Each structure stands twice: as structure tokens, then as C-alpha cells.
Chains A and B, each alone.
Chain A
């Protein structure tokens, strides 16, 4: 059963603390995306990786957010220091890119982050 998995599913933390969210893409997928969903902004793309290399992270606040892919089975999104405005649901998605295109994106269940 091929699915994108994310941990933790829920995270409550205090302002200023470091938060790390993890994602395991579908085996064989070579592209990974991080999205953030809020009531006000809807779904926004934060970062995009192809073959573990970051290709676009223009949607991320660079001073506090960082995204990495230590290996093909793990993607991480880190916030340091966290702020209340970071409270949102963070989704990871993966896909298979061929000829420079990614067709369908498959989403994980998300990490619901609350920063107090």
C-alpha cells in the first residue's frame, strides 16, 4: 500500500522552540513537495525537491525554515525558532517526475502544528 507518511501527526509547542517534521515519500518517487495550509492562505507551496536536490524553496521564510532530504526515503522540514504565525497544517507530497514534468502529486496526511 504505497502512501506518503508524515510524522508527527500533531505537534504543540511553545514559541521559540525548534520543530522538525518528517516525511517518507512513496518508494520510487523522485520529487517531494512541502505545502502549508491555513484558513487564510489556503494551500501554499513551501519547497520542492527533485532527486533529493532542492529546486525551489522560494515559498519558505529563509530565516527560520529549512528543508532537507538526507536520503531518498526521508524529507525534513525544520522551523527554528517557531512562531505562533507558523501554526498550520504542513503537507508533504511526492510524485514521479519524467522528462522534467511531475504528473500527479500524492499527499501525506499532514502535520498539524500549533505554536503557542
Chain B
């Protein structure tokens, strides 16, 4: 059974720092991995999607990497800003599933001005 873990559960950094959020999964037979952002009281916003054949994806100050064989993904945020404060969730879809996402419990990020 696939399990997705995110470490740390919470992170507080000063503005301007570069930071890394971690996501690990127990079953490497994934189809893709998706990083989401969730603001308090809001829905999920898709940030980056990495197919299993890819190593990384970039969007602006965000860079997500995937090491499928070791069951790990990282989300790198460069030059963090207070507006980056949110909960970041990673989710994986198995190769044998056409749709089901399995979510981690999230990392709650606070960027202090």
C-alpha cells in the first residue's frame, strides 16, 4: 500500500531564504507526482506535475525534482517571500491507477517578513 510522507510537518524561515520541502513515497511504481499549495480555508492549487519519466520541473521560483527509484521528491523554493506562506502537499498516482491521488499530510510553511 502506497504511503506518502512529508517532512518537516512545519517550517518557519525568514524572507529571502531558499528552502527545500521533502516528500517520500514507499512504492516507486508511480505514474506521476504532483505538488499542490493550500492556503488557509482555500482549495488546492496545482504547482508542478512531474511525470515518472522526468527528473524535474520548474516554474518561476519553484523547482521540483523526482527520484523515482529512491521514492523521493523535493520542492525547492528560491528567495522565499511572505506570500509563499501556505501548506504544501505532494500527491502521487500509481502506475496501475488512472486517477487516484494519494496525498501526503503536508508541510506548513511560514515565511517571516
Q: Do A and B come from one complex?
A: yes
A8 to B89, CA, bound (A): 24
- B42 engages A110 (CB within 8 Å): yes
In contact, A33 and B45 (Cβ under 8 angstroms) = no
Least Cβ–Cβ distance between B45 and chain A, in angstroms: 7
Chain B residues with CB under 8 Å of A108's CB are 43
- Interface assignment of B85: CB less than 8 Å from any CB of chain A: no
Cβ contacts under 8 Å, B46 to chain A: 104-107
* A112 CB contacts on chain B under 8 angstroms: 41
CA distance A11 to B32 in the complex (A): 34
Interface contact A48-B99, CB-CB below 8 Å: yes
Rounded to whole Å, the gap between the CB of B62 and the closest CB of chain A is 15
Q: Check A33–B44 contact: CB distance below 8 A.
A: no
Which of the candidate stretches A62-70, A80-88, A94-102 sits at the interface with the other chain?
A: A94-102
Please state if A107 and B34 are interface contacts (CB–CB under 8 Å): no
Q: Which size bracket describes the interface of B in this complex?
A: 20 to 34
Pair B105/A101 contact, Cβ less than 8 Å: no
Compute how far the CA of A42 lies from the CA of B32 in the bound complex, rounded to whole angstroms: 20
Which residues from 32 to 71 on chain A have a C-beta closer than 8 Å to any C-beta of chain B?
33, 42-43, 45, 48, 50, 55-56
18 examples of A-B residue contacts, CB within 8 angstroms: A4-B43, A6-B43, A42-B103, A43-B103, A50-B99, A55-B99, A91-B43, A100-B98, A101-B99, A104-B34, A104-B49, A105-B34, A105-B46, A107-B43, A107-B44, A107-B46, A110-B42, A110-B43
Query: What would 18 more interface pairs be, CB under 8 Å, given A42-B104, A112-B41?
Result: A33-B99, A43-B89, A43-B103, A48-B99, A48-B100, A50-B99, A56-B100, A91-B44, A97-B99, A100-B98, A101-B31, A103-B32, A105-B34, A106-B46, A107-B46, A109-B42, A109-B43, A110-B43
5 A-B pairs with least C-beta separation? A107-B44, A43-B103, A107-B43, A109-B43, A102-B99
